[in-house]
Structure 1
Amino acid sequence: MPINAEYRGPGELPETIPVFPLPGALLLPRGQMPLNIFEPRYLAMVDDSLRDGHRLIGMIQPDLAHSKDESRPALFKVGCVGRITQLAESGDGRYILELTGVSRFKVVEELTVLTAYRQCKVDFFSFVDDFVARKGEDAVDRTALLEVLTDFLKANNLKVDWEGIESAPNEALVNALAMMSPYGPAEKQAMLEAADLKTRAEILIAVTEMDLAKKRTSGDTGLQ
């Protein structure tokens, strides 16, 4: 999706961003994530993001395995910042919005702030390739990806828009399938932190193959 802002490199993004911890949520550069915002602290986060003009929200997963306080869980060290590219008011106090991924980031430190939502100092310079659209997509094994997708759809009795898939560039295809995949936080985090698009596709293929093998062994053909 085209966006009004052009981010040509890490230096064009702020060092401090609001973060939205959400288990199982995977946002990737140039991917689109719909969000239904209803908690007061995150409504305030959206308002502040719009007021400040940057329209940016960092999506990150809580690291529940290393959390001592469930009300304020630890965070994984890598997330992805997205720009608010669509926003609608529901009429009952909610925001329905869409984020378009810009770049992954590493958390440098979580800040002590007065806002109810959390904020982090982040580093984008480890992910300079995220600012280059379709970087490395020629290295993706598209045939293997489509084969495992076909097997997954058959096993779960699902249908898909094959015309749209066949016309999608490799970057859009890999990232969309990764974001929509039904896997857990650990698998989503592995795909987020993948060194390049080829590696992300390989992780997605491997995870899907393991899931299919498990279902065949158990005789279960439905989604968990």
Structure 2
Amino acid sequence: MTEIPLFPLSSALVPYGYMPLQIFEQRYLDMVAACMRTGTGFGVVWLRQGSEVSGGSQTTPDVGDYGTHARITDFDQLPNGLLGITIRGEERFDIAEVWRDPSGLIRSRVSMEGPLEPAPMTDEWRSLEVVLRGLESHPHIQRMNLTIDYNNAWEVAFNLIQLLPFDESIKYELLGMATLNELIVELDILLNQISGEEG
């Protein structure tokens, strides 16, 4: 078991996925400063409902059973004066216990799954690569400066999940899938639904 600080969000973060965040609460400014000083990361967990406080009690926000360890890849002061950071998802974890420390920061004991072993792309999955390369050409996504290994099927699938406008509850369910094949089958179904809606 490992103890880590948590950042509960209404959005789900998946391994290899990139996400920009605005940091303004003091407890999270302190958390980010500590992570950058020590070279560590923090856990991102999906809030099932409401805000961090209203979604649960003062001590136990209503978060998912699992999440993704995040690493800060970039930071900057935004035009509005707030701290902007970009995080990238790393390994998944299962949550054993959640509490709020005296500063108000949410902390947790978690079981890390370990890094995903890279999996080669197969010809039947190349359609996912085509969709992701198309997304990368959009100006908004180009500004994120993504670094994607297109030979790793996990990385292609999870970047698609992070970038596409799926409901966050769906992203959370996809994050929990046990095998790459199961993940890609479900992702393919969702992509067909999107193309059907647009067609």
Cα pair distance change 1:139/1:168, threshold 3 Å = closer
CA offset at residue 40 of structure 1?
2.8
CA offset at residue 205 of structure 1?
1.3
Contact 1:107 1:123 in 2 (8 A): yes
Partners of 2:35 and 2:149 in 1: CA distance: 35
Structure 2 residue 150 is matched with structure 1 residue 168: yes
Structure 2 residue 24 is matched with structure 1 residue 38: yes
Question: What per-residue deviation string (whole Å, max 9, x for no partner) do you get for residues 34-84 of structure 1?
Answer: 222223332222123234x1431111101129x994365400011000122
Aligned to 1:196: 179
Aligned to 1:104: 92
* Letter aligned with residue 12 of structure 2: A
Count of residues in Structure 1 that have an aligned counterpart in Structure 2: 187
Aligned to 1:141: 124
CA offset at residue 177 of structure 1?
0.8
Partners of 1:70 and 1:140 in 2: CA distance: 43
Structure 2 residue 41 is matched with structure 1 residue 56: yes
Between 1:94-103 and 1:167-176, the stretch displaced more is: 167-176
Aligned to 2:33: 47
CA offset at residue 114 of structure 1?
1.0
Partners of 2:101 and 2:137 in 1: CA distance: 45
Contact 1:190 1:203 in 2 (8 A): no
SS of residue matched to 1:202: helix
Partners of 2:185 and 2:41 in 1: CA distance: 29
CA offset at residue 112 of structure 1?
4.0
Cα pair distance change 1:91/1:185, threshold 3 Å = closer
Aligned to 1:27: 14
Question: What per-residue deviation string (whole Å, max 9, x for no partner) do you get for residues 182-213 of structure 1?
Answer: 01122101221121333222221112223444
Contact 1:141 1:198 in 2 (8 A): no
Structure 2 residue 101 is matched with structure 1 residue 119: no
CA offset at residue 107 of structure 1?
0.5
| Superposition RMSD in Å | 3.5
Partners of 1:68 and 1:37 in 2: CA distance: 17
Q: Which of residues 183, 189, 193 in structure 1 aligns to 2:166?
A: 183
Question: What per-residue deviation string (whole Å, max 9, x for no partner) do you get for residues 114-159 of structure 1?
Answer: 12221111101xx23x253x1x334683135357x49xx9xxxx86
CA offset at residue 19 of structure 1?
0.9
Structure 2 gap segments, 5+ residues each: 139-145
TM norm structure 2: 0.76
Calculate percent identity across the aligned residue pairs: 22
Partners of 2:97 and 2:164 in 1: CA distance: 29
Once the two structures are superposed, the pairs formed by residues 74-113 of structure 1 within 5 Å of their partners are 74-90=62-78, 93-113=81-101
Structure 1 gap segments, 5+ residues each: 1-13, 216-220
Higher share of residues assigned strand: 2
Contact 1:137 1:198 in 2 (8 A): no
